[in-house]
Amino acid sequence: MNYRILDTIANNITKNVHMKKALFLLALVASYLGISQEKLTYQQPSKEILELVDAPLAPSVLLSDDGKHMVLLYRDYYKTIAELSETELRLAGLRINPKTNIGSRTNYYNNIKVKEIGDKEASQVTGLPENPRLSNFKWSPDQSMIAATNTTSEGVELWVLDINQAKVTKLSEAEINANMRDVVNWFKDGKSLLVKMLPKDRKKLINVSEAVPAGPTISSNDGKKAQNRTYQDLLKNPNDEFNFEQLARSELYKISLDGVKTKWMDAAMYSSISFSPDGNYVMVTKVEKPFSYLVPYYRFPSATTIYGSNGNFVSTLLEVPLIEDLPKGFMAVRMGKRELSWRNDKPSSVIYAQALDEGDPETEADYRDEVFQIDAPFDKEGKSLIKLKNRYYRILWGSDGMAVAYDYWWNNRNLKGYLFNPSDNSQDPVIFEDRNYQDVYSDPGNFVTKRTAFGTEVLALKDNSAFLLGEGFTEEGQFPFVDKMDMTSMKKNRLYTSQIEGKKENLIDYNVNKDELLVRIESPNEYPNYYYKSVIKRKGPRQLTNFENPFKSIQNVHKEVITYTREDGLELNGTLYLPVGYDKAKKEKAPMILWAYPREFKDKSSASQNTQNPNEFTYPFWGSPIYWVTKGYVVLDDAAFPIIGEGDEEPNDTFRGQLVANAKAAIDAVDELGYIDRTKVAVGGHSYGAFMVANLLSHSDLFAAGIARSGAYNRTLTPFGFQSEERNYWEAPEVYYTMSPFMHADKMKTPLLLVHGEADNNSGTYPMQSERYFNALKGLGATVRLVMLPKESHGYRAKESILHLLWEQDQWLEKYVKQKDDKGELPAPATKD
């Protein structure tokens, strides 16, 4: 753009006409040249979309393990832009409101109701604070109470709900520090809580924008490789370091149910806190110095120490240095003890893993990890329990002689399950599961657990058998199941298969001793509700909740899962919605929105599997394209976009070609059904889906317009890997170049709507990604619009932002998709006399 021309025009105008006319003409010239910026207040979408956005949200459900009580938590689905505009500091990977001392993006609940199972109506909880903002819910050991925090304009308070009385009581003033995790923990007796409180000696925070620098900020490296992915919200200077330390420091207090406070431990930067199952010990992890400008706080130095329940020092289990450099690869880990946790079936035993391959996935090793146990008083070396062929994932404890361990390896998508004897490591573990974890058809399900006397979860065993709940995806559809597995022979017996015609049944939990299966049942027009069923006696269902469908206007929309074939023979699928009132017999040609998100696979078999269920409830959340069935659009949602790299080939080696092939197959499939005008198809996506959209519009002519939200478009700005790409830029420069839409901005010939949150915190999707891409497209003459949403992060939260987003998308689709003529061209602009 030649700005000197504009200057010359402006000068000539101002010499010859009145100033007001000059400014008006200058605005016209700028508008004609396409360089004007719009200043809009927040807009709202059409009535059809607005009534879906305003539908009330059903409560979240908490069930006590004994199945006697249900707690209903209510909240507004959206925040307000005023809430997002509250003071926020972004430090070391955290986003904190420094006035209230809690995460600035915390979700809050504003009402609680309680009901006994079997009662028709729930009881309103009394004693709630004015304008409640409740979070950090934590059951008491006997589950008779729930602790929670309430955030006021001045800070965070502690409250406790008595389930039987349906009443809450305030236990502290706004003195809690909720900036780090594990804010509230119950003592074993259930009569007091261990709480993070603001330290008395906290210093005043530095206003970074007003601070006078004492010198430059310097980073250096001594020759070590530190190939870290791009992180957001890192510390940037000594002032940030100071503020982080002040906000992270807490004093630990013991607070009784009558509100009496007793100091338990002096101030430190406490991160995680957990009681041993018997309640006699507390494992505390503290963040330490030096800090880093390269990695978030959870990679700062730390120390993990065991204390008695009285606060007396017992043992230091682990000291971890600053972790700025790791071996390359997703499976790289640091050396030394890691993944510390309490063993759930023992009073006070700590479990941890250690790498056997120096933490380097490139090192050949028969076993990658070894798991150890160390018992109270934690003064001896750990005892080896099991060696694992892959990276340690988790352990489910059953008994002294029986436990189940899992490991995994990302590079080949392998997962293994081991049955082992934790009391005798001379016995070889039995591998009972060895599969590709992306192969959902082979997924055996998850073991059922039960609550112990300690209040922890262990395997639910009966007659030497364990039980599994599976999602039940098959070639024929989804059929969730309950299996009984003999832990000696490893043989399984199927106890239950869900086959409710026209509905989807989610299996939530199974009480083995009571034969009580907790399920959630839904259909496209029936909101999900909870039920109890009997597996053995085949009784039920007994309905527990009665939530109604709030989205009446779309409850009868036609919905189906369609399958179709890519040009290389790969079977794909997507969920197809037809417009409200659409007559399938007439098959009038409608515009279509295709919405998708690419996923990487290492084999074609897993990539072709169908994990969509047409009986799922139709739920139009804020980022959904389903709203547009009310505006005459066909919607193909969650269209399969697999990117496959088998053997030594990486998926991204052929990313673009597979992307276009996926899109063409989807459009061809719906076109063959006779529902759409294929010249009026839009494509949309969020995050990596936005990256997909920009690539599709640059390298195909399949679409009339695109919507790309919060994406990354220049992969050289994420040079040490992105998404599922392990290789750095210097190892695979062609991949980075080929996959970057920014590098191919000159090929963009399709109207593109770019949307991004100004406060995006997602790794790699800096707001700059959209800003720079927009500038490139604008400079090359593309039809493009950039909408930056103030205060919004990677996912959008404020109702004002959501409504404006929907308005922007609706306007874009109306102009560049629906109004196209039969030749795929926009109508000529109207002329003025």
Active site residue ranges: 687, 760, 794
Structure tokens at 335: 């050396």
Structural contact between residues 510 and 469, judged by C-beta atoms closer than 8 angstroms: yes
Q: What share of the chain is helix, strand, coil (3-state, %, to 5)?
A: 20, 35, 45
Name the helix (H) or strand (E) containing 243: helix 238-248
Question: 693: which residues sit within 8 A by CB, 6+ positions away?
Answer: 683, 684, 685, 706, 707, 708, 711, 752
Omega before residue 541 within 30° of 0, cis = yes
H helix runs in 612-732, sequence order: 655-672, 688-699
Tokens read off for 334: 């640091």
**What backbone phi and psi angles, to 5 degrees, belong to 671?**
-65, -40
One-letter amino acid at 11 equals N
**Tokens representing residue 685 in the block:** 């996506």
**Cα→Cα distances 480→96, 449, 485, 521, 561, Å:** 41, 18, 16, 12, 18
Q: Are 133 and 108 in contact (CB under 8 A)?
A: yes
What's the number of CA atoms in the CB half-sphere (13 Å) around residue 521? Answer: 18
Q: How far apart are CA 418 and CA 636, in angstroms?
A: 41
* Cα 128 from Cα 334, distance rounded (Å): 46
Give the three-class secondary structure for 822.
coil
Question: Shortest CA distance to 500 belongs to which of 533, 544, 549, 467?
Answer: 533
Task: Report CA-CA distances (Å) from 329 to 223, 226, 413, 724, 759.
Answer: 19, 12, 14, 10, 28
Per-residue b or e along 457-494, where b marks 16 or more CB atoms closer than 10 Å to that residue's CB: bbbbbeeebbbbbbbbbeeeebebbbbbbebeeeebee
How many other C-beta atoms lie within 10 A of the C-beta of residue 217? Answer: 12
Q: What is the side-by-side order of every strand in the sheet holding 111-116?
A: 60-63, 69-74, 111-116, 123-124
CA distance 95 to 105: 7
Backbone angles phi, psi at 714, to 5 degrees: -125, 105
| Cα–chain center distance at 619 | 18
Question: Is the Cβ–Cβ distance between 36 and 786 less than 8 Å?
Answer: no
Are the beta carbons of 70 and 96 closer than 8 angstroms?
Answer: no
- Residue 675 sits at φ, ψ, to 5 deg, of -95, -20
Instruction: Give the bridge partners for 681, in sequence order.
Output: 592
φ, ψ at 69 (rounded to 5°): -125, 150
What is the SS3 assignment for 532? Answer: strand
CA dist 576 and 637 (Å) reads: 6
